[in-house]
Structure 1
């Protein structure tokens, strides 16, 4: 999936313009990069368009994932995007759904397995019928 298509899909799902969709996408991906191991961030970035790869570049000292739950994830996205938490929750769902469509070879499932169960409400809309479920407790 190319960058414009990714942004357009997020904009459509969040019923916002492209500029806001870019902010929502960046805020979500930056937060996701903090929550994933460095190796998984690199794997994820390798399948995304160049402008989104730049958002996901892990630093040299972040091989370990930060441990925080879904509520903190939403709060971080809200702060980064300068929106309220209800809008942030919807934005995260939209970006996860778009990621699912953009990624190949089971990469989305690899991302999902690094997230605890309390992320289920944000991730499940992105899962296809009969798709993978969260395997972490």
Structure 2
């Protein structure tokens, strides 16, 4: 999937007002995810994304283990599209992960999903991508 298609899909599915909002949501989701997963997986996933998106993995210096609630809090704090409720930020992140799942080779996102969980809730991040008949 090309960059423009990726951003367009995120904008459409997350019902965001602009491509800039879709880019920002994609950036903060991918950066936050990169902070949580093993660097090799982050690099592997980023290498399969359009270059303009894959580079966000390079912004991460340290890997941390944190629960899904903390993941959502970080996305809320970083999203630059006005006030965002945690439920909206979680939905935006789910949409980005779903589009990533379609953009990368089969199994690449599964490796990320299989990372050892730290706290409950990460299955929620992959909920849309795991659903059969995910929107296209």
TM-score (norm 1): 0.85
| Cα displacement (A) at 1:38 | 0.8
Q: What does 1:1-137 align with in structure 2 at a 5 Å threshold?
A: 1-16=1-16, 17-57=18-58, 62=62, 65-82=63-80, 83-114=84-115, 116=117, 117-129=120-132
Give the Cα separation in 1 of the matches to 2:116 and 2:20. Answer: 28
Please say if residues 31 and 59 of structure 2, whose CA atoms lie closer than 8 Å, have aligned partners that are also in contact: no
| Cα displacement (A) at 1:53 | 1.5
Give the Cα separation in 2 of the matches to 1:105 and 1:22. Answer: 23
Please say if residues 100 and 127 of structure 1, whose CA atoms lie closer than 8 Å, have aligned partners that are also in contact: no
| Cα displacement (A) at 1:115 | 5.4
What's the C-alpha RMSD, in Å, of the aligned pairs?
Answer: 1.8
Which stretches of structure 1, 4 residues or longer, exceed 2 Å deviation after superposition? none
5+ residue gaps, structure 2, are none
Cα distance change on mapping 1:25 and 1:91 into 2, 3 Å: same
Give the Cα separation in 2 of the matches to 1:93 and 1:53. Answer: 18
| Cα displacement (A) at 1:114 | 1.2
TM-score (norm 2): 0.86
Q: Deviations over 1:2-30 (max 9, x none)?
A: 11111011001111121111110001001
Please say if residues 42 and 58 of structure 1, whose CA atoms lie closer than 8 Å, have aligned partners that are also in contact: no
Q: Deviations over 1:77-130 (max 9, x none)?
A: 01010422121011011001101101104101001111525211221211153x
5+ residue gaps, structure 1, are 130-137
